[in-house]
Amino acid sequence: MADDNTQRPYDTIVTQIVNYAYDFDVTRPEAYQRATATLLDALGAAFEGLTTSPDCRKLIGPVWPAPEQLVNGFRLPGTKYQLDVLKGAFDMGMLVRYLDHNDAFPGAEWGHPSDNLGAILATADILSRQALAKGEAGPTMKQVLIALIKAYEIQGCFQIKNAFNRVGLDHVILVKVASTAVTSWLLGLTKPQAQAAVSHAWLDGHPLRVYRQAPNAGPRKGWAGGDACMRAVHLAMLVQKGQPGVRSVLTTPRWGFYDVLFKGKEFDLPRPFGSWVVENVLFKVSTAEGHGLTAVEAALTVAQDLQRRGRTPEEIDRVRVRTQEAAMIIINKNGPLHNAADRDHCLKYMVAVVLLKGAPIDTADYQDGSPWATDPSVETLRSKITLEEDPQMTRDYHNPEIRSLANALSVTLSDGVELDEVVVDFPVGHVRREETMAAVQEKTRRNLGLLLAGDRVESILGLAHGESFGDVPVREFIDLFVPE
C-alpha cells in the first residue's frame, strides 16, 4: 500500500526527523572520532553485562527453541549466537544497557543514546551478510557510524527540553523514534516510507517510567532499550511491506500524542539536528547512575580525607548532599532496596558503599550476591545521608553552555568535626575533563578483555582508530567480537 501524496503532509516533527536522517551530511571528523569511541564503549558495556550478570545472560538467544546459528543472522557480540533481526536488536540493546554503564546524555530528560545500537548493529550486520551471499558489497562501518551519530542527535536534541518523565513516560520512547528513523535509512526505505515508520513510533503505546522509580525499580529498566530497538526495527519492516503511516500522529486534537500523552504541549527542539550530541555525550567511566557520578567522586575524596585523619566511616554523624533537581527525582531513595537495579539508582547507596570501601564502587557492588547488598553498615550510613536540591546546580545542569552534573558532599563526624565540603562539577567522562578519552579507552580495553584475548582487543582498537575503518564491511567488524 503506497503513500498517497495527495494527502496532507506529515506532522512537522516527523518530517524534520526523516529529512535529517536521510539528507544531513556528517562531515566533522570530531563526530566520527567520538562515534567510534561510543561504539567501542557500548560493545565493552555489553561484554561487561554478559560476564557480570547471570540475569542478563538468561535473556539472550532465540525466543523459542531454535538453532543457535541462523544462516545470515546477526552475530551477537560476545556469544556464538546468530539471531533473527528482531531478537538480535533486543539482545544487543539489552546487553549494552543492562548494567547502566553505557554512555548517557542529560537534559530535561535523561537517556542513553547508545541504546540505539541494538537496532543499528543488528540491521546493518544482517544486511551485510545478505549482501555477501548475493556477491554484493553491503553496508560498511561508515554507515554504522553515520546511523549512530544521527540516532544520538535525534534522541539527544529531544532530551534537552522535553521531559517525558514529567508525564510518566520512559525515555526509551526516544530510542524507538531515533532507531526507527535510522533503521529505515539502513533498510533503504524511501523518505515517505520512513515518515510512515516514524509516525508509528510515536503512535505506539509507550512504556511507563514506573519501572525506574521506587518502589517498583527493577530489571526491566535494563532491557527497556533493547525492547525499543526491537520495536523500531519491526515498525520499519512493517512499513517496508506496505503499511501506511499516520500523518497527524502528534497534532490531532484529542487523539494525538500531544493531547493524550503530553498534556497538550508541543515538542521544543532548541537546536537544529547536526552532530553536537555525539560530540558532547557523557561517558560513564565509573559504574554509577549518571546523576551520581560526581557524588561518587566526591565520596572517594571524603574517604581519603578520613583515612588521612585516622578516622573511620563509623564515626560519621551525617552527610549532606547538594545536588541537581534531576538527581532528586531519579536517585533519591529511602527504604529497602530490592535488587541490583534498585541499588544502582540510589545515590545514598553509592555514596555509602564508597565511604565504607574507601574505593570506587563497581558493578559487582550492586549485585544481590555482593556483601554490601546485605551489610547493615550500608543501611546505617544511608540513614545518615540527606539530599537537597541546589537551584544553581539545577540551572547549570540545564544550561547548554555548562551542562554540569554537580554534587557536593558535606560530612560531619560524631564529635562535631566538619570536613571540608567536596564539590565536583563535571565527572570523568564529561567532555570538559581532559582525561575522559584516555579513561574511556582503558574502560573499553578492560571490558573487551573479559571475553577476548589481549591481541584480539588490540587488533580491534587498532582497526577502529585507523583511517580505513569506515571502509570495513560490517560483518567483518562484528565477527571480531565472537569469542574463540
Query: Looking at residue 341, what is its pLDDT?
Result: 87
Q: What is the pLDDT of residues 159-209, one digit of tens each?
A: 999 999 999 999 999 999 999 999 999 999 999 999 999 999 999 989 999
Query: Looking at residue 7, what is its pLDDT?
Result: 74
Q: Say if residue 365 is in the same domain as residue 315.
A: yes
Taking residues 373-391, report their average pLDDT.
96
Q: Say if residue 264 is in the same domain as residue 403.
A: no
Q: Say if residue 268 is in the same domain as residue 342.
A: no
Task: Give a yes or no: residue 451 inside a domain.
Answer: no
Residue 287 pLDDT grade (very low, low, confident, very high; cuts 50, 70, 90)? confident
Query: Looking at residue 464, what is its pLDDT?
Result: 98
Tell which of 402, 424, 446 closes a domain. 424
Q: Say if residue 328 is in the same domain as residue 205.
A: no
Q: Say if residue 62 is in the same domain as residue 174.
A: yes
Residue 42's domain spans which residues?
Answer: 12-280
Task: Give a yes or no: residue 140 inside a domain.
Answer: yes
Looking at the 3D structure of the chain, how many domains does it have? Answer: 2
* Three-state SS at 194: helix
Task: Give a yes or no: residue 148 inside a domain.
Answer: yes
CATH code for the domain of 403:
3.30.1330.120
20 Cβ contact list (under 8 Å, min separation 6): 150, 153, 154, 181, 273
Q: Say if residue 268 is in the same domain as residue 301.
A: no
Query: Looking at residue 2, what is its pLDDT?
Result: 47
Q: What Å distances lie between residue 404 and 280, 391, 408, 433, 457, CA to CA?
A: 12, 13, 12, 11, 33
Q: Which of 169, 457, 115 is nearest to 284 (CA)?
A: 115
13 Cβ contact list (under 8 Å, min separation 6): 250, 267, 269
Taking residues 237-245, report their average pLDDT.
98
- Per DSSP, helices labelled H in 162-266 are 172-187, 191-203, 220-240, 257-261
Taking residues 94-122, report their average pLDDT.
94
Query: Looking at residue 68, what is its pLDDT?
Result: 76
Give the whole-number percent of the chain exceeding pLDDT 90.
89
Q: Which of 66-80, 262-276, 314-328 has the lowest mean pLDDT?
A: 66-80
**Residue 159 in contact with residue 187, Cβ under 8 Å?**
no
Q: Say if residue 276 is in the same domain as residue 307.
A: no
Taking residues 443-450, report their average pLDDT.
97
Give the whole-number percent of the chain exceeding pLDDT 70.
99
Q: Which of 302, 289, 330, 307 is nearest to 412 (CA)?
A: 302
Task: Give a yes or no: residue 160 inside a domain.
Answer: yes
Q: What Å distances lie between residue 66 and 9, 63, 84, 157, 349, CA to CA?
A: 43, 8, 11, 40, 41
Tell which of 280, 298, 322 closes a domain. 280
Tell which of 381, 409, 424 closes a domain. 424
Q: Say if residue 246 is in the same domain as residue 327.
A: no
Element spanning 155, H or E: helix 141-161
* Three-state SS at 424: strand
Q: Say if residue 211 is in the same domain as residue 345.
A: no
Query: Looking at residue 1, what is its pLDDT?
Result: 44
Task: Give a yes or no: residue 442 inside a domain.
Answer: no
Number of neighbouring beta carbons within 10 Å of residue 399: 10
Q: Say if residue 390 is in the same domain as residue 352.
A: yes
Query: Looking at residue 6, what is its pLDDT?
Result: 52
Q: Say if residue 276 is in the same domain as residue 305.
A: no
Query: Looking at residue 66, what is its pLDDT?
Result: 76
Task: Give a yes or no: residue 242 inside a domain.
Answer: yes
CATH code for the domain of 121:
1.10.4100.10
Mean pLDDT score across all residues of the chain: 95
**Residue 348: is its pLDDT beyond 50?**
yes
Query: Looking at residue 74, what is its pLDDT?
Result: 97
Task: Give a yes or no: residue 351 inside a domain.
Answer: yes
Q: Say if residue 166 is in the same domain as residue 213.
A: yes
Task: Give a yes or no: residue 66 inside a domain.
Answer: yes
393 Cβ contact list (under 8 Å, min separation 6): 322, 323, 324, 404, 406, 407, 408
**Residue 16: is its pLDDT beyond 70?**
yes
The pTM (predicted TM-score) of the whole model is 0.90
Find the largest Cα–Cα distance for the chain.
78
